[in-house]
Structure 1
């Protein structure tokens, strides 16, 4: 940790614009007022502490969830400046917490690298909180300020005590304003997942999470940083290289405008696996997860394609250039963590999901190339194993393309290119069209007879579809059930995918409320997540909620979707007359009219929209639940068993 004497005072705090619209349009600043937005508020405060750590001024961050659903974030950094701001005439602490886009990270001499949302974090969180308190330790004194009702000052900055002159840091406590935010509780698991990522990406940083609601405490510190990250992600898999390939360094060049030094920090950690049939590439820029990759990932691909192809050619693996490996050949079975620290990253779009900085491509290419070239030359046995995996992947790619082409040609000769067992709807308006995926002919028959033929299509699936998580692509495209589904969707796949050609804007998974039905739902969700992820991201995938019980007393018929609802319905009926309770074991037990009224009628039905708020976490869950390895799956089930409901044994 660097000496904390580095100049960081009120003059470093620069203000850009007001805070007026935050409470009126919170989605512009934190994405939503739901669960993801609520936790985004936590990240905005935590990011400021992480910035202090990245700059070398902090090595510990404590996160606390109180019983009253408050969040406390404390670090041992330099402490937010408390001197009077030259422009506003109030303390710099109050400027940071009440003025939008006011933050030290806008001044190049305060931070070299920063995460967060351009420094707006603390003030936005204040705007969306009904209470915020701040403590700062600086210069042997403890300063305090308090705010209420969206950033209004309750107590201006004042000295409330003294501390050791060598102590410094910031503590922020806030409570969300439930007049704006949805009244939901903080999810400890989400906070812990994010906290672990921060600790992995900042080698040696200690991050703790205390939850006063259940008196739990966890701490995370990784002396090996992203090497430990890769090993944790790959737990339970059979590795090719037990020692993770690790590259680290700085890429320097001169700024064309003022000839100042631009320094980009690069870290890459890679491990190959025998029993993973897809890549697992996770990338970050300044601790921000870049789900869609970007230029830093492209630089990584440049390095592996150039060096591994060159190495393989020198060793005589290719008869001609057509046998050279593609990018997809070289990343199958690979887990890679790519983390860069950039002084001025340029992102594509508002979500920061994709990095656009061109210099990041050169930086990662150069740093990883040096390490990879040395690894290949010094480890010929491991290099051969990696090339063997690429050869197998190349064969699979060729077979997969052939299977996909054959399936397309076959489908082109069927009824209008659509699967024969699809009972399509009559409308061609995709916005009002619905595709129901049902298990077997029994439920399919009731659904066909009970549906609205104008807007609802039915595709019966025979048995459990393929588990794509542990199946090579060529087998996926040879599977009749999957190809029927792909054809019915109409979007194409892979390079030919076009979401504008989607034939239905509601794709409804309608399975029985038992273990087999749950398994089929999971198989279908795994398929959509791995091969049609945009359909989930655009909100087109739904899960039908059929009732569990039919409750009848004379002519009175009601349906219950869970045990609690069943008991409530029964309690309201005449207890002196006979009450008949039927538990539905499957959709096939319902007649068409019942299925329509309870599960398919837009006026009455209940459906869950499938959403992915945390793509990394979702990716890991699918990998654990549907992959080859038993140990991670067993641990997941044991730790989540308390959340399971309505399992039909």
Structure 2
């Protein structure tokens, strides 16, 4: 059989085995293209080599033609065309945006490679990516709407023990860290040994530099003997970084490949990044001074906030004093899988929700006013916010690096706010908090948005609840006479029975689940909308203002 036929029809025939095809691969078992073929209604392959174009067609995974020559060409390469089998997949349409996100990522990770995506379903829809700066340009892209402490990212690159390491980092004036890690071009969202090594060496090198070097006045070291070390959180405050490793035999934890397990990678990353960062700090004192000032500022804030931070590490491992918040109306169901909690805007609506709920499985936590915008706040300020403390205590999983998703007390976390601009603002503040400090809840699909009705139409002694202007318009076309129309301004205008029937009853309600399709774009959007810089927000409003359908003035 021709090699191309074997690769497309036999499992474990991938080019990663034997070392003659390519040295680095993201695949584990050499089955990728043969699985694609098996799951396709049809697949066609064209291989251009030796000045000839070879062609073969497959259907349902089996060859329906032999390998034949169909033309001549001086180029080289392989083209695969396939159609997913609709008998296997319910959805066979590809989302353009989802593909662009991944291709952009690959282009950043492979400097100089040009990738073109063309959507022939729509006329003239094409996008191309090429980044000669590689991951350095990636970091600049991630920081594009932030005020950075120095103009160009710091870059490190090296190879040791057949492991290639590439890293880039840059600080901004914010309080959040954003570190992306990759292994053989695969986004390791859960980190792994390469990320552990990167974080550890950054902390060690900056601490060593802080103790061994004088401040600009030449009198005192940045950290004196006897003073506490800068913690990992201190040195990573405002840090944006990308760490990419390439190795021969990656070991991932689980089939999803979201966490790298090779123990030898940690030491290699530590050596290459440590040597590079140490040299950079010594050769660039002006930049080093800014990094140290940022880290020491974080240390001082941490020391001042010890009382608040200690709340996290109490015996129960949660925020607060151990007991559930007094204003939480909990449910009787014991299994978290069947429990849900409503985060309700305001005490008035919270009271109605408590009365209207099903006490067996629905818990209610009223939130007073707007919570803190965590995009602009340090951790100690966040921990001082009563509404956030109540929320985290009720959910039971802690925040940030201390988060333990297995302790989640409710499978559904439902945000329920008024259908006005204030309600939208509160939703955005809550989503910002969940994205920054409880991201696994979003990644696992635990966060939902309730959809209370916007209108009530009374006609012939019956109430009809409608959720938008289009539904109202359609309903009015059906009705003869003069119905009574009420536009709800807030949840508090509904009595407990109405709130249950329209918004809380699983039989009738509409919930929107929050999903994270593109972490990088979500990061960028939260920075634009909730960050401290005004200009990106103004630009966004100017660009998209005319797209608004309902404007609340």
Q: Specify the alignment match of 2:217 in structure 1.
A: none
| 1:456 aligned residue (347, 352, 362) | 362
Question: Is the counterpart of residue 267 in structure 1 residue 267 in structure 2?
Answer: no
Which residue is 1:283 aligned to? Answer: 181
Structure 1 residue 430: deviation in Å?
Answer: 2.9
> In the TM superposition, what is the alpha-carbon distance from 1:609 to its structure 2 partner?
2.3
The reply on whether 1:439 has 2:348 as its aligned counterpart is: no
Partner of 2:99: 191
C-alpha separation in 1, matches of 2:54 and 2:271: 46
- Give the match for residue 90 of structure 2: 182
Tell me the equivalent position of 2:290. Answer: 385
Give the direction of change, closer, same or farther, for the CA distance of 1:300–1:601 in structure 2 (3 Å limit): same
CA deviation after TM superposition for structure 1 residue 115, in Å: 2.2
Structure-to-structure mapping, 1:587-598, within 5 angstroms:
587-598=491-502
Report what 1:554 is aligned to: 460
Match of 1:621 among 503, 522, 525: 525
The C-alpha deviation readout for 1:174-224, integer Å capped at 9, x for no partner, is 222233223364222222221111111111111111122141222211111
In structure 1, what is the equivalent of residue 327 of structure 2? 421
Matches within 5 A, 1:459-498: 459-494=365-400, 497-498=403-404
1:158 maps to what in 2?
A: 68
Partner residue in 1 for 2:55: 144
Is residue 458 of structure 2 the alignment partner of residue 530 of structure 1? no
State how far apart, in whole Å, the 2-side matches of 1:413 and 1:284 are: 33
* 1:209 matched residue in structure 2: 117
Residue 216 of structure 2 is aligned to residue 305 of structure 1: no
Change (3 A) 1:332 1:605: same
Cα displacement string for residues 6-64 of structure 1 (whole angstroms, at most 9, x for unaligned residues): xxxxxxxxxxxxxxxxxxxxxxxxxxxxxxxxxxxxxxxxxxxxxxxxxxxxxxxxxxx
1:492-532 CA deviation, whole Å, 9 max, x = no partner? Answer: 44565443433322211011222221221121112122222
- Alignment-derived partner of residue 62 in structure 1: none
Superposed CA deviations along residues 198-257 of structure 1, whole A, max 9, x for unmatched, are 1111111111111221412222111111111111111132222212211112113xxxxx
CA contact (8 A) 2:85 2:92 kept: no
- C-alpha deviations, 1:598-620, integer Å up to 9, x for none? 11111111112223344344333
Over 3 Å counting, the alpha-carbon distance change for 1:96 and 1:416 in structure 2 is closer
Matched-pair contact (CA < 8 Å) for 1:298–1:361 = yes
When normalised by structure 1's length, the TM-score is 0.78
Residues 308-349 of structure 1, C-alpha deviations (whole Å, 9 max, x = no match): 211111122233355111211111111111111111111122
Q: Secondary structure at the residue paired with 1:534?
A: helix
Would the aligned equivalents of 1:404 and 1:478 in 2 still touch at CA under 8 Å? Answer: no
* Cα shift at 1:476: 0.2
Structure 1: distance between partners of 2:549 and 2:257: 37
User: Which residue of 2 is the match for residue 244 of structure 1?
Assistant: 153
8 Å Cα contact 1:407/1:478 also seen in 2 = no
Structure 1 Cα separation of the partners of residues 546 and 24 of structure 2: 42
Number of aligned residues: 544
Secondary structure at the aligned position of 1:109 is classed as coil
Q: Which residue of 2 aligns with 1:343?
A: 248
What is residue 506 of structure 1 aligned with on the other side?
Answer: 412
Alpha-carbon contact 2:312-2:319 (below 8 Å) kept? no
Q: Which moves more between the two structures, 520-529 or 624-633?
A: 624-633
Distance change in 2, residues 1:609/1:478 (3 Å): same
* Partner SS state of residue 371, structure 1: helix
8 A contact 1:98–1:151 mirrored in 2:
yes
Query: Does the Cα contact within 8 Å between 2:319 and 2:393 map onto a contact in 1?
Result: no
**The one of 84, 97, 108 aligned to 2:19:** 108
Aligned-partner Cα distance in 2 for 1:500–1:413: 16
Does the 8 Å CA contact 1:414/1:420 hold for their aligned counterparts?
no
Q: Name the residue aligned to 2:216.
A: none
Question: CA distance change for structure 1 residues 428 and 399 in 2, over 3 Å: closer, same or farther?
Answer: farther
CA distance in 1, matches of 2:20, 2:321: 67
**Structure-2 separation of matches of 1:351 and 1:616:** 19
CA distance in 2, matches of 1:643, 1:128: 39
In 2: Cα distance, 1:117 partner to 1:620 partner: 32
SS at match of 1:323: coil
RMSD: 2.6
After TM superposition, the score normalised by the length of structure 2 is 0.91
1:604 and 1:217 map into 2 onto residues whose CA distance is: 42
In structure 1, runs of 5+ residues without a counterpart are: 1-88, 253-262
Name the CA distance, whole Å, in 2 between partners of 1:127 and 1:641. Answer: 46
Alpha-carbon distance between aligned partners in 2 of 1:198 and 1:527, rounded to the nearest angstrom: 29
Match of 1:294 among 179, 192, 198: 192
The structure 1 residue matched to 2:37, chosen from 111, 126, 136, is: 126
